[in-house]
Amino acid sequence: MGNVTVQAEPEPLPIDAARTAIVMIDMQRDFLEPGGFGEALGNDVSRLNSAVGPCRALLETARRREMLIIHTREGHRPDMSDAPRAKVERGAPAMRIGAPGPMGRILIRGERGHDIIEALAPRKGEPVVDKPGKGAFYATDLHLILQNRGIETLIVCGVTTEVCVHTTVREANDRGFRCLVPEDCCASYFPEFHEVGLRMIKAQGGIFGWVTDSKRLLAALNST
C-alpha cells in the first residue's frame, strides 16, 4: 500500500498505510440518535452528526486501500455484570444504563441502540470490539488484534472527542502506537471540549499524537 506523508500538527506524519489501522470509536445509535444514552444525559445529539460524512469518506478510501478498519462499541452484557455501580448510578440521566428506551435497553449489547449507525456500518471482515469502558484497550482484545497485524499507527475517529476518543488515544500512546486524529472525523456534545481535547493531543510536540483533518488525510491516502 505504500508510504505516505500526512500534513498534520505539530508536524507532518509519515505513515505506512499497510501498518496503519482506522479505529472508529463508538459511532452508535445510543450516542448519535434521539432516544439513546446521549440524549438521556441531556445532550443535543445532533451535534455529533458533523462527523458522519467525513468518517464515511475515510472508510471508503481505507476500504479501497485494504487498510485494517476496526469499529468499537461501548456497552454492557445483558445481565450488566460488567457494569460498575459507580458508572450506572452516576449523575441523574433521564434513563440509566440498562433501562428500557425507544431503541431497546440503554447501552446493552444486542439492543438496536447499541449498534453502529447504518451510514458507518462495519463491512464483512472488519473487527468490531465491544468495550465496557471509555478506552478501547480496557478489557478488550484490541491490542492483540493490532499486534497480530503488525500495526504501528492508528487513525482514531469517532465520539466523543474528549471522552472515548481521548481515552483511547492516551491508552494507545502508552502502548507505543502513533495516533493521528482527524478533527472533523470526531465530535462532541460540547464544542469547546472538542477544541481543547484536540489541542491537548498535539501540544508539547505531539505529546499524545498528531491532529489533521479528513481533507489532508484523504489527499495523502489517495496520493499513491
Contact assessment for residue 21 and residue 67, using Cβ atoms and an 8 Å cutoff: yes
Contact assessment for residue 112 and residue 29, using Cβ atoms and an 8 Å cutoff: yes
Place 224 in a pLDDT band, splitting at 50, 70 and 90. Answer: confident
CATH superfamily of 3-221: Isochorismatase-like (3.40.50.850)
Mean pLDDT of 106-125: 98
Inform me whether the pLDDT recorded for 1 exceeds 70.
no
Separation between Cα atoms, residue 162 and residue 178, nearest integer Å: 18
Which residues are the active-site residues?
26, 131, 164
DSSP 123: P
Contact assessment for residue 146 and residue 175, using Cβ atoms and an 8 Å cutoff: no
pLDDT tens for 133-149 read 999 999 999 999 999 99
pLDDT tens for 153-207 read 999 999 999 999 999 999 999 999 999 999 999 999 999 999 999 999 999 999 9
Inform me whether the pLDDT recorded for 51 exceeds 70.
yes
Instruction: Tell me phi and psi for residue 36, to 5 degrees.
Output: -100, -170
